[in-house]
Amino acid sequence: MKLHIANKNYSSWSLRPWVLMKTLGLPFEESVHPFPLNGGPTGFDAFSPTSKVPVLVDGERSIWDSLAITEYLAEQHPHVWPADKAARVWARSAAAEMHSGFANLRNVCAMSCGVRVALHQPVHPGLLQDVNRLQTLWADGLHRFGGPFLAGQHFTAVDAFFCPVAFRVQTYNLVLSAECMAYVHTLLALPAMQDWYEAALKEPWIEPAHDADVLAFGALVQDFRLPAETLHLLSVPDLSESIQAGMGEPLVDSARKLDW
């Protein structure tokens, strides 16, 4: 199987099937396709019917969308979802909620593994609502099934769907309950998550449109990315002026138009 993904620093949707397959030990080949600079054509249509990532190719079959990929894998590998029916029903519902919801969390806290950002105050009210719902959902799963993962003792697809959130919590220093922060640390400590993070830091691609989204609602605190010639966030043309003016919305060529 071959999994087509985009930049590891930015692509939250690519992370979901990647970390699921890595953690469960499912063999695959990865093919990384970096986002073009400044929102140009992605070229993803060469392998993706929607021109978006991720896409899993298995022989003559192409499966697009992270949830569809997850269900395809579940047909062949029983450990993708929890074995217990009650846990499995809950896990599918929680994963679907993450897949279709939490829009404010996605928009205000765009994924960028390699930076740390201080959110502007007061924090966007929609983000606060999403974080509250996130904590309620996580606490429900942890209490129902005993942890340390959302549906019990083992990592399953529902945890994979929240792995990008763990990176967002780290990047934006989101304040969560002790119980929820323990779950975040559990995800960040996974060997597959550490491998993804280390690879993201070493990527040579710094993409201004995605970086603009990262600073749309906050200020840069630290940049840990290590390409040979690092393009600092504040060196992006017109970006520092937008930040100083208190930009409340992402740039027109926003990363969200690309990263799905």
CATH number, domain with residue 69: 3.40.30.10
Number of Cβ within 10 Å of residue 132's Cβ equals 10
**Contact yes or no for 147/82 (Cβ under 8 A):** no
CB 235 within 8 A of CB 152: no
Please state, in angstroms and rounded to a whole number, the distance separating the CA atoms of residues 66 and 184.
Answer: 21
Residue with tokens 């002026």: 241
CA-CA-CA-CA dihedral for 172, 66, 205, 115, to nearest 10:
10
Q: Is residue 21 part of a domain?
A: yes
Residue 68 in any domain: the answer is yes
Cis preceding linkage at 227, omega within 30: no
Angle of helix 125-145 relative to helix 178-188, nearest 10 degrees, comes to 80
> How many structural domains compose the chain?
1
What are the tens digits of pLDDT across the range 25-37? 999 999 999 999 8
Q: Residue 3's beta-bridge partner residues?
A: 30, 56
CA 6 to chain centre: 11
Domain for residue 17, yes or no? yes
196 assigned to some structural domain:
no
> What's residue 227's pLDDT?
62
Q: Does the residue 65 lie in any domain?
A: yes
Low-confidence ranges of the chain (pLDDT < 50): 228-237, 239-260
Q: Is 147 exposed, middle or buried (0-12, 13-18, 19+ CB in 10 A)?
A: middle
Domain that holds residue 21: 2-79
pLDDT at 40: 79
Strand order in the sheet with 2-5: 29-32, 2-5, 55-58, 61-64
**Per-residue model confidence as pLDDT tens digits over 105-135:** 999 999 999 999 999 999 999 999 999 999 9
Is residue 70 situated within a structural domain? yes
Residue 14 lies in a domain: yes
pLDDT at 170: 98
